[in-house]
Structures are given as C-alpha cells and as structure tokens.
Amino acid sequence: MGAERLLSEIVGINSIFPNESRLAAFVERRLKRMGFRVRRDYLTRSRYNLLAERGKGKGSILFYCHLDTVPDYGDWHTNPFRLTAKGDQLYGLGTCDMKGGTAAALCAIDEARGKRIKMLFCVDEENISEGAWHAVTHNKEWFKDVKFAVSCEPGDSRRHTGGSNVITIGRRGRVVISIDIEGLASHGAQPQRGVNAINEASTIVKHLGMFRLLKHGRLGPETIFVRKLESSSTSLSVPDKAHLELDMHLVPPSTRKDAESRAKEFIEMLFRNKHLDSRTKIKVGIKERKTPYIEPYVNHRNNGHIKRIFGIVADDYGKAIPNYGSSVADDNILSTELHVPIVTIGPTGGNEHSENEWVSRKSLKQLVGTYSRIIEEC
C-alpha cells in the first residue's frame, strides 16, 4: 500500500484526543501483519500507547509517531475526515501533524527487513503529552537499546513547516506560571481605601516587557504571553482577588524551576520599584497539571548518528537544512528523559491546528525514501 492510500485510511479514522483507540487498533493490526511484536502500554482501560519491535541486533532505531489530532477547528472547505487532493496538496485533519509522517514511516518500514527497528505510537501529544510521559516512565527497559530516534512530524519553526530536507534537532520547552494576587477589599464607593486586585494584575501585565527572558543562538529568544486573567467584583466591593497565568516558551539552559525563579524576581522587582501596592500579597508558582511541563533541548550536529542522517539527506536533496522548533512536542520528552539523540523529519504541509490542514503529496513520497535510507544506512 502506498503512503497516500494509507494516509487516506488513517485520516478517515477520527483520533481527536482523547479518542485515539480506533486508530491505535488499526495501526496495531498493520504492525502485526508487518511482523512486529506489539505491546499495549495502557494509560486507562480504553486508552493506550503502542510499543512495537522487529528484527535482531544490539541496537535499535526508534521511530516515533503520535496517534492523536487536535479538534477540527474552523470552517473547512473539505471534509476533514476524508483525504482530498487538490494538485500537490492533500487536505484532511492531521495530514501534516502528524498522520502524513505516520503513513510514510509505516510504508518505509514495511519495505525494510532484517534491521532492528522499534516503533512508538503515543496518545495525547496534542494535549499534555500524557502518553509519552507514561511510555518513558513505565517502560525504561524497552528503550535501553535505542541508538537514536526519528520523530515523523514536521519540526515547526518561523522558517519551516516540515520538508524531507529539513532536520529538526532542537526545540524550545514550555511552562505555565501561576500568579495569585490578593489585594484589599473595600466599599466600591470608596475604592481608594482598598487595593484592587484587577488593577494589580493589570500592572503586572503592563510591565511584562521587563520580565527577564533568555536568548539561545539556535532556538532564538524565549517568549511569554498572558494566557489567563480572572477576577470579578462581588457585591459593591473592590475586587480583592485575581488570578493570572503566563505562558512561557523556554530555551536552554532554562528549566521549569528557573522560569519560576525569574517570575518571582520579576514580581519582587515590581514591588521594589513601587509599581505594585505594598499591601498586595502575591503567590507565584508553576501551574499544576497531570504531567510535567516540557524542558527545551538541542542535539549536537557532530553526534555520529545525526551527522550520518544529515549526509543522507544532503545526498538526496542537495542540501540538509538544520532546524530548531519554536514549540514543544513529545520529541522533547524522548530527548530529555531517554537521553538519546533525536531528529525530527516530517513532510511539508501547512495549517496544522487550523482549518484546511494539508500535506504535500510530493513531500510524502520523498519522505518514504528518506526514512528507508535512514533505516538501511544508519
């Protein structure tokens, strides 16, 4: 089965998180027909990752794909669950992120025999990466023989969204900072007697440009934005409580804890410079969630496996373009938790996380060849 035909079948299976089980079952059947030994890694009774392996040898190549998609946002001009071709563009939900890469990897691996290959298919990448975190923390022995990993989705950046000659070898991380603000209630007829928590939150937002952000030579600068501001007045009173959340994308050497420390320094600076009322109480921390926030990573191009992959891609396309992703993915978890080199190579496409998502038909075909050469020569 060609990659385009397989992609058509995969797109036709709705796998919007957290409902990936139908696609997981489809992929599992295909892997078993290809001679893989497949194990389910259960998160819940009805939700699971797939860990598959085939071949013999001392070290394995790991191919990574995620099973889920985001919802079908927006106003599509085609059926998002039916692959629709318009020239070189194949439209459908998940075609770019990342069902196109999944189809290409399954086709390439189907043709490769004798090599030691592992495949990891995870749920929940588009949410909080619950699948990847579960996989790496509950199956450590399974990953021990992995030499390097290939993630099959496009490595988004300001310049690129995938491409068979675009090799992503680093990504920014992410954390959400939670700020709870406690002002001082007073009668609304005499607001000067109190401290309006909304005003204090607005002051923090107004001065956000003073937040100390790091820069990285490859990943560029860190970014920060306000993702939530909540407060309200009750009765005829000055609001005394507000909640603010700041969303940060991180670059090395920053960590989740480092970002939290800089947020506290930022608030202390606002107090010191008398931008905030001294009567205000502020609590800063990392917003709680079920899985850890994801750390940034950068792999070195002089790693032997990565260097070889750059050589293969340059042979095929004349030039191999190093890329550094602007956002997080499960790739971060595989790199920072398993400590294995990882390259991200996915097809050219566009409109991921939006209406009318598409992938390039030509790029999809090229990608099968790229994956095949990596399997044979690395």
Query: What are the tens digits of pLDDT across the range 289-305?
Result: 999 999 999 999 999 99
Question: What pLDDT is stored for residue 191 in this prediction?
Answer: 93
In this predicted structure, the answer to whether residue 224 has a pLDDT above a threshold of 90 is yes
What's the gap between Cα 79 and its chain centre?
Answer: 25
**pLDDT at residue 159 greater than cutoff 90:** no
Q: Can you give the pLDDT at residue 234?
A: 84
Q: What percent of the chain has pLDDT over 90?
A: 94
- We find that the CATH architecture of domain 173-286 is 2-Layer Sandwich (3.30)
Domain ranges of the chain: 3-171+296-377, 173-286
pLDDT for res 56: 85
Confidence class of residue 196 from pLDDT cuts 50, 70 and 90? Answer: very high
If you search the block for the tokens 């294995």, which residue do you land on? 340
Confidence of residue 155 (pLDDT cuts 50, 70, 90): confident
Q: Is the pLDDT of residue 270 over 90?
A: yes
* pTM (predicted TM-score): 0.93
Please compute the mean of the pLDDT values over residues 53-72 and round it to a whole number.
95
Asked whether residue 115 carries a pLDDT value surpassing 90, the answer given is no
Mean pLDDT of 244-260: 97
Any residues with CB less than 8 A from the CB of 141 and at least 6 apart, and which? none
CB crowding 166-200: b at 16 or more within 10 Å, else e: bbbbbbbbbbbbbbebbbbbbeeeeeeebbbbbbb
Task: Give the mean model confidence (pLDDT) for residues 274-286.
Answer: 98
Task: List beta partners, residue 85.
Answer: 90
Per-residue tokens: 60: 């394995």
pLDDT mean across residues, the chain:
96
User: Which has the minimum average pLDDT: 111-120, 167-176, 360-369?
Assistant: 111-120
Q: What is the pLDDT of residue 213?
A: 98
Residue 23 has pLDDT above 70, yes or no: yes
pLDDT tops 90 at residue 88: yes
Beta bridge partners of 148: 61
Annotate 90-109 with b (16+ C-beta within 10 A) or e (fewer).
bbbbbbbbbbbbbbbbbbbb
pLDDT computed for residue 114 by the predictor: 76
Q: What is the mean pLDDT of residues 249-271?
A: 97
- Bridge partners (DSSP) listed for residue 264: none
pLDDT reported for residue 1:
63
Pick the CATH number of 3-171+296-377 from 3.40.50.300, 3.40.630.10, 3.40.50.970, 3.40.50.620: 3.40.630.10
> Strands 60-66 and 47-54: what pairing?
unpaired
The pLDDT score that the predictor gives to residue 57 is 82
Q: Which residues, listed in sequence order, are joined to residue 84 by a DSSP beta bridge?
A: 91
- SS3 state of residue 148: strand
Which amino acid would we find at residue 265?
Answer: E
